[in-house]
Amino acid sequence: MKVATWNVNNRVGTVSQQVQELGQSESDVVALQDVNYNVVACYIEAFRCIGLPHVLHTLERQPQAVPTGALLTSRFPLWLLPNLPEGTLWSQGCNTPDREKLRQHWARRTLFALLHCPWGEIELANVYITSANHYEKDGMACVNCIRYSLS
| Domains in the chain: boundaries | 3-150
Give the CB-side neighbour count of residue 50, counting CA atoms within 13 A: 24
Using DSSP bridges, classify how beta strands 120-127 and 29-36 pair: parallel, antiparallel or unpaired: unpaired
From residue 143, give the alpha-carbon distance in Å to each of 5, 11, 130, 140.
11, 17, 5, 14
pLDDT of residue 150: 46
Distance CA 45, CA 65 (A): 20
pLDDT digits (tens, 9 = 90+) for 46-88: 999 999 999 999 887 665 556 788 999 999 999 998 766 555 5
Q: What is the pTM of this model?
A: 0.76
Residue 138: its H or E element:
none
Residue 67: the pLDDT is 78
Low-confidence ranges of the chain (pLDDT < 70): 12, 61-66, 83-106, 130-151
For residues 133 and 89, what is the distance between their CA atoms, to the nearest angstrom?
20
pLDDT value for 127: 84
Question: What is the structure's pLDDT at 7?
Answer: 87
Q: Please tell me the predicted confidence (pLDDT) of residue 77.
A: 97
Non-local CB neighbours of 100 within 8 Å, separated by 6+ positions? none
Q: What is the dihedral of CA 148, 83, 68, 44, to 10 degrees?
A: 60
pLDDT of res. 71: 93
Per-residue pLDDT, 36: 86
CB 17 within 8 A of CB 39: no
pLDDT of 128: 81
pLDDT score at 21? 87
pLDDT for position 55: 96
Burial 24-42 (b: 16+ CB within 10 A, else e): eeebbbbbbbbbbbebbeb
